[in-house]
């Protein structure tokens, strides 16, 4: 590889068997390409229509998140976590709050734990709904499925706004609880939304699941073998679509997930269609969790009394907090030296690590499939580049 | 039959299209400038400074302690302390901010200044129609622009404002009880 990170001149085409004896064309997809879901570039080498090499190039949206978090106070990093995966700010908040709680020993009260589960599962619903919409958009279903998904997302965002004050940049979780209590009538609105949501899922399934074009574009495309998925550290719906039963809500037992009955859907082909179906099935399980959480939520305080907004200095030590974010394992690793700002702050973003297998999934596929495969990975560039 | 799935999907599109004319929940958008959604009680946009009474200069709750300036994650607050102390609304001598600027183009509406303020002096506004053709001066809010009366705070966040008023009244009552219990000469010297 040359110093500038560009391709070496390709002299031997047909490494993957495809396009033997043909000239290889290098195509730079992105950074301004509508299918890349942000500013992301794929340097693709194609022989004819088949991919022989693919190199993801990221960093266009690098914002120095980790270093900024190390210069400010612990609390000051919280609003920046909203901006990692800007679709799922509440799960990002939770992961960071969990890491700090493990560092300091703060314990969120019962009600706060329930609120966290409810907001996280609502986040999962809107993230997966949008992902399915975007995936259909990538396949050429311009707008319609995406707008139906956005319509449902809008209702969830309205709930977030009435709870946290902001639709996307919620900045809601605090170390040892949550910032403010649920407003009056919020639980009833949430129950109504959760009761109505399966109707949207049924509609969406009638709308897309049997669609022949969708099946032709997704089945057998971008297969990710389970061994490779495990070796590459892939997590989340992408790993489960390959048939690996690994869900942090079951395995790591953070929060109060052990109290809820839910199943972990698994795929068995690991192709784009499985990844699409996993999201739909996970939404149904999230609805189940929400039903139980909204039924059982107790009254009480929402913040650990030991938690304080000013002068927060954890004892020296290190901690890793991880949760099952909608996109996979989201972890925050913190080292404290006893000061008011973290000595080291590290994010383990699921989007970035799930992207590392992109080339393996794309080799031998056509250029049009790359768009669909990338869509099924479910990346948000705010989290990939940080 | 090939294409049955597509036809099934198109039936769903038709149901949504026709439904958007008759079922309100299928059409959730509103034509914005003419019609507006009701404001959410918790909504937040940019911070403003609360003052009590009618005079913005005299009733400003901010005592220029600069905690928000230090805690603000994107560092968008700029405070200059006044050199002389002025009596605040309770008659206690306090510093006042000579300058208090918030760069709205930098502010990320995270509400941390509100949380760390020990004097309930800075709160979140809900006004969002702030577009301007001047990207520097037009988005730099000065102390005069930021100062808004407590009645306005009650108007945009009624529940929260009521709690803050109760909390402040309790603190004032405690303060008065303490000054009354002390000898008369001591209270004046502080």
Write a three-state SS string for B105-146: CCCCCCCHHHHHCCCCCEEECCCCCCCCCCCCHHHEECHHHH
* Shortest CA distance from B17: residue in chain A: A144
pLDDT of residue B153: 87
Nearest to A144 among B8, B13, B41 (CB): B13
pLDDT of residue B129: 84
pLDDT above 70 (res B95): yes
How far CA A251 is from CA of A108, A257, A264, A353, B143, in Å, comes to: 21, 10, 11, 19, 52
pLDDT above 50 (res B29): yes
- Say which residues have a Cβ less than 8 Å from residue A6's Cβ, sequence separation at least 6: A43
pLDDT of residue A118: 92
DSSP state of B43: -
Distance from CA of A5 to the nearest CA of B (A): 33
pLDDT of residue B182: 60
Domains within chain B, CATH numbers bracketed: 1-37 (no CATH), 47-189 (3.30.70.3270)
In a domain, A344, yes or no: yes
A115 in Cβ contact with A302 (< 8 Å): yes
In a domain, A338, yes or no: yes
Element (H, E) at B19: helix B4-22
pLDDT of residue A31: 81
pLDDT band at A335 (very low <50, low <70, confident <90, very high): very high
A118 in Cβ contact with A349 (< 8 Å): no
In a domain, A229, yes or no: yes
Nearest to B67 among A68, A162, A310 (CB): A310
**A210 touches B at CB < 8 Å:** yes
* Shortest CA distance from A309: residue in chain B: B116
In a domain, A288, yes or no: yes
**B173 touches A at CB < 8 Å:** no
pLDDT of residue B187: 44
The reply to whether residue A183 touches residue B41, judged by beta carbons under 8 angstroms, is yes
pLDDT above 60 (res A47): yes
pLDDT above 80 (res B57): no
CATH number for the domain harbouring residue A218: 1.10.645.10
**Nearest CA to B47 among B81, B79, B80, B77?**
B77
In a domain, A178, yes or no: yes
Q: What is d(CA B104, CA B132) in angstroms, rounded to the nearest whole number?
A: 11
Higher pLDDT, A125 or B28: A125
Condensed to tens digits (0 to 9), the pLDDT of residues B102-149 reads 998 889 888 888 888 888 889 888 888 888 888 888 888 888 888 888
Higher pLDDT, B51 or A30: B51
Angle between helices A110-138 and A144-164 (to 10 degrees): 160
pLDDT of residue A12: 46
Please state the separation of Cα A96 from the chain's center in Å.
15
pLDDT above 80 (res B32): yes
**B183 touches A at CB < 8 Å:** no
**A147 touches B at CB < 8 Å:** no
The reply to whether residue A206 touches residue B3, judged by beta carbons under 8 angstroms, is no
A96 in Cβ contact with A325 (< 8 Å): no
Distance from CA of B125 to the nearest CA of A (A): 11
- Say which residues have a Cβ less than 8 Å from residue B24's Cβ, sequence separation at least 6: none
Q: What is the mean pLDDT of residues B33-52?
A: 86
How far CA B144 is from CA of A48, B102, B124, B147, in Å, comes to: 66, 11, 16, 5
Nearest to B12 among A169, A206, A213 (CB): A206
A99 in Cβ contact with A332 (< 8 Å): yes
Which stretches of A168-316 are assigned E, i.e. beta strand? 173-174, 177-178
Cα dihedral sign, A121-A122-A125-A131: negative
pLDDT above 50 (res A19): no
**A161 touches B at CB < 8 Å:** yes
Assembly ipTM: 0.80
Q: Chain B partners of A68 at a C-beta cutoff of 8 Å? A: 73
Condensed to tens digits (0 to 9), the pLDDT of residues A132-170 reads 888 888 888 788 888 888 888 888 998 998 888 888 888
In a domain, A46, yes or no: no
pTM of the predicted model as reported, rounded to 2 decimal places: 0.85
Name residues 123-142 of chain B within 8 A of A (Cβ).
124
Terminal alpha carbon distance of chain A: 25
Task: Report the percent of chain A where pLDDT is more than 70.
Answer: 94
Least confident of A4-18, A205-219, B28-42: A4-18
pLDDT of residue A143: 80
Terminal alpha carbon distance of chain B: 90
pLDDT above 60 (res A21): no
Condensed to tens digits (0 to 9), the pLDDT of residues A236-252 reads 898 999 888 888 888 88
**B89 touches A at CB < 8 Å:** no
**A95 touches B at CB < 8 Å:** no
Higher pLDDT, B182 or B12: B12
With 0-12 CB in 10 A as exposed, 13-18 as middle and 19+ as buried, what is A222?
buried
Condensed to tens digits (0 to 9), the pLDDT of residues A79-136 reads 999 888 888 889 999 999 999 998 888 888 988 999 999 999 999 999 999 888 888 8
What residue numbers bound the domain in which A355 lies? 65-385
Interface test with B, best of A207, A216, A311, A382 (most B CBs within 10 A): A207
In a domain, A104, yes or no: yes
Q: What is d(CA B138, CA B190) in angstroms, rounded to the nearest whole number?
A: 42
Q: Which three-class secondary structure state does DSSP give residue A330? A: strand
Distance from CA of B184 to the nearest CA of A (A): 35
pLDDT above 60 (res B184): no
Describe chain A by its helix, strand, coil percentages, rounded to 5. Answer: 50, 15, 40
* Shortest CA distance from A151: residue in chain B: B28
Q: What is d(CA A12, CA B152) in angstroms, rounded to the nearest whole number?
A: 72
Q: What is d(CA A334, CA A20) in angstroms, rounded to the nearest whole number?
A: 50
Condensed to tens digits (0 to 9), the pLDDT of residues A308-334 reads 777 788 889 899 988 988 998 999 999
- Say which residues have a Cβ less than 8 Å from residue A358's Cβ, sequence separation at least 6: A42, A54, A56, A373, A374, A377
**Nearest CA to A239 among A202, A209, A282?**
A282
The reply to whether residue B8 touches residue A206, judged by beta carbons under 8 angstroms, is yes
Condensed to tens digits (0 to 9), the pLDDT of residues A342-372 reads 899 999 999 889 888 888 888 888 888 888 8
**A143 touches B at CB < 8 Å:** no
Q: Chain B partners of A169 at a C-beta cutoff of 8 Å? A: 108-110
Give the number of domains in chain A.
Answer: 1
With 0-12 CB in 10 A as exposed, 13-18 as middle and 19+ as buried, what is A172?
buried
pLDDT of residue A18: 47
- Say which residues have a Cβ less than 8 Å from residue A221's Cβ, sequence separation at least 6: A271, A272, A273, A365, A369, A372, A373
Q: Which three-class secondary structure state does DSSP give residue A295? A: helix
B119 in Cβ contact with B65 (< 8 Å): yes
pLDDT band at B28 (very low <50, low <70, confident <90, very high): confident
pLDDT band at B183 (very low <50, low <70, confident <90, very high): low
pLDDT above 80 (res A4): no
Condensed to tens digits (0 to 9), the pLDDT of residues B156-180 reads 888 888 888 888 888 878 877 877 7
In a domain, A3, yes or no: no
Bond prior to A287 in cis (omega within 30° of 0): no
Mean of the per-residue pLDDT values of chain A: 85
């Amino acid at each position: 590889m040359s110093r500038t990170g560009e391709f070496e001149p390709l002299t031997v085409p047909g490494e993957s068997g495809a396009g033997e004896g043909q000239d290889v064309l290098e195509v730079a997809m992105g950074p301004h390409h509508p299918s890349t879901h942000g500013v992301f570039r794929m340097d693709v080498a194609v022989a004819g229509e088949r991919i022989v090499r693919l190199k993801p190039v990221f960093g266009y949206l690098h914002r120095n998140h980790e270093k900024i978090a190390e210069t400010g106070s612990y609390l000051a990093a919280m609003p920046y976590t909203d901006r990692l995966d800007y679709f799922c700010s509440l799960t990002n908040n939770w992961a960071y709050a969990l890491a700090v709680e493990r560092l300091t020993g703060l314990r969120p009260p019962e009600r706060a734990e329930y609120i966290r589960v409810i907001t996280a599962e609502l986040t999962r619903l809107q993230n997966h709904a949008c992902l399915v919409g975007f995936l259909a958009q990538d396949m050429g279903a311009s707008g319609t499925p995406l707008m139906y998904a956005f319509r449902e997302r809008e209702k969830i965002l309205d709930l977030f706004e009435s709870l946290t004050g902001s639709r996307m940049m919620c900045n809601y979780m605090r170390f040892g609880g949550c910032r403010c209590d649920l407003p009056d009538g919020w639980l009833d609105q949430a129950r109504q939304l959760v009761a109505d949501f399966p109707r949207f899922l049924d509609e969406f399934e009638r709308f897309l699941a049997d669609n022949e074009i969708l099946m032709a574009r997704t089945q057998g495309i971008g297969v990710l073998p389970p061994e490779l998925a495990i070796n590459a550290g892939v997590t989340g719906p992408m790993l489960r679509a390959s048939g690996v039963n690994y869900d942090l809500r079951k395995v790591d037992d953070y929060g109060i997930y052990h109290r809820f009955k839910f199943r972990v859907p698994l795929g068995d082909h690991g192709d784009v269609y499985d990844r699409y179906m996993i999201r739909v099935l996970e939404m149904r399980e999230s609805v189940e969790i929400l039903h139980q959480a909204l039924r059982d939520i107790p009254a009480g305080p929402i913040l650990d009394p030991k938690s304080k907004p000013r002068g927060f200095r954890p004892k020296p030590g290190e901690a890793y907090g991880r949760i099952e974010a909608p996109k996979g394992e989201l972890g925050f690793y913190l080292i404290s030296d006893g000061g008011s700002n973290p000595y080291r702050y590290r994010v383990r973003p699921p989007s970035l690590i799930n992207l590392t297998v992109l080339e393996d999934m794309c080799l031998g596929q056509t250029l049009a499939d790359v768009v669909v495969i990338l869509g099924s990975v479910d990346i948000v560039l705010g989290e990939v580049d940080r | 039959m090939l294409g049955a799935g597509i036809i099934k999907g198109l039936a769903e599109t038709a149901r949504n299209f026709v439904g958007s004319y008759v079922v309100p929940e299928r059409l959730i958008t509103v034509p914005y400038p003419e019609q507006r959604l009701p404001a959410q009680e918790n909504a937040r946009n940019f911070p403003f400074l609360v003052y009590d009474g009618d005079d913005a200069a005299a009733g400003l709750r901010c005592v220029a302690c600069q905690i928000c300036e230090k805690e603000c994650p994107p560092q968008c607050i700029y405070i200059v302390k006044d050199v002389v102390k002025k009596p605040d609304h309770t008659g206690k001598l306090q510093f006042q901010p000579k300058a208090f600027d918030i760069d709205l183009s930098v502010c990320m509406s995270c509400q941390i200044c509100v949380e760390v303020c020990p004097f309930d002096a800075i709160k979140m506004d809900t006004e969002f129609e702030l577009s301007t053709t001047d990207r520097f001066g037009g988005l730099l809010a000065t102390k005069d622009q930021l100062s808004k009366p407590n009645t306005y705070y009650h108007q945009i966040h009624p529940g929260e404002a009521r709690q803050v008023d109760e909390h402040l009244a309790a603190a004032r009552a405690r303060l008065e009880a303490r000054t009354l219990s002390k000898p008369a000469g001591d209270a004046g010297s502080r």
